[in-house]
Amino acid sequence: MHERINAIISAIRTHLGTGDRPLGLEDFYRICQIDNIIVEEISSARSFILKPSAAGGGATVIGLSRQAKGRDRCFQMFHELGHYFCDHARCSPEEEAEADLFATLATGHSIAKPGLAQKPVKIFFAN
């Protein structure tokens, strides 16, 4: 799992020319611009990603919680991008763990703390 995600992040770093520094807010918006991902601020506590259905097409949308600040916000951004780049479709615990790993490796930190159950969720259209 690590190797696959590291390969994806490495390709993103190369494309953006970031070197090995942690990826941050500006990188997130650059990636979304390049890949035509629509980013919307939402009032919900949980960020999510909506992927276009195979039949309907359309753009991928990431809903970003306004309540998430600082590192948590950045982690949620890259968690959702993890779902995007790993081609997730099932919302399984394995995919959530993979998205968390993606965010951890991309941002250089984890929001996983005891008692802090702030776990971003995503919603997918069936495809």
Residues found near Zn ion in the complex (CB under 5 A): 96, 99, 122
Give the distance, in angstroms, between the CA of residue 99 and the centroid of all CA atoms in the same chain: 7
SS3 86: coil
Nearest CB to Zn ion, comparing residues 55 and 126: 126
> Residue 23 or residue 76: which is nearer to Zn ion going by CB?
76
CA separation for the pair 12, 16 (Å, rounded): 6
Shortest distance (Å) from residue 17 CB to Zn ion: 28
E strands of the chain, at which residues?
Answer: 38-42, 48-50, 61-65
Which one, 23 or 103, has the nearer CB to Zn ion?
A: 103
